[in-house]
């Protein structure tokens, strides 16, 4: 059974690109684009890895991550956070919320794959 990745992102081009890259890697990718219902989606189908955008409609990625870390079932879920704002303050907020890894947009396909592989290796 292939590893499952959930991508919570609201930019269609980024969703398409990441889904393509990860599917080619043999991963099963599920997508969601609404911050308000993201945690419900995650509770219904906990993935092996979450790729989470910071700026989402309804609720920020930081808030979603904090809620995940408070729940026993998702407290240890590896989370790769994506943001278009790469200031150190954004990285610090993500780290305080419990992020596993942080990546600034735009990113290269190689960079994305390397980060996903590293996080997946930690959960194996």
Q: What residues are paired with 79 via a beta bridge?
A: 50
- Assess contact for 35 and 63: CB atoms under 8 A: yes
pLDDT tens for each residue of 40-89: 999 999 999 999 999 999 999 999 999 999 999 999 999 999 998 878 89
Question: How would residue 123 be classed by pLDDT, with cut points 50, 70 and 90?
Answer: confident
**pTM for this structure?**
0.95
Percent of all residues in the chain with a pLDDT value above 90, rounded to a whole number: 85
Which domains are present in the chain?
Answer: 4-115 (3.40.50.2300)
């Amino acid at each position: 059974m292939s590893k499952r990745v959930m991508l919570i992102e609201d930019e269609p081009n980024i969703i398409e690109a990441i889904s393509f890259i990860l599917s080619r890697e043999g991963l099963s990718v599920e997508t969601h684009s609404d911050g308000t219902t993201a945690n419900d989606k995650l509770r219904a189908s906990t993935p092996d890895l979450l790729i989470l955008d910071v700026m989402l409609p309804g609720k920020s990625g930081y808030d979603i991550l904090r809620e995940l870390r408070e729940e026993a079932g998702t407290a240890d879920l590896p989370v790769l956070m994506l943001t278009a704002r790469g200031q150190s303050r954004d990285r610090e907020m993500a780290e305080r919320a419990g992020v596993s890894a942080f990546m600034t947009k735009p990113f290269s396909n190689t960079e994305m794959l390397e980060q996903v592989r590293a996080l997946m290796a930690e959960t194996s």
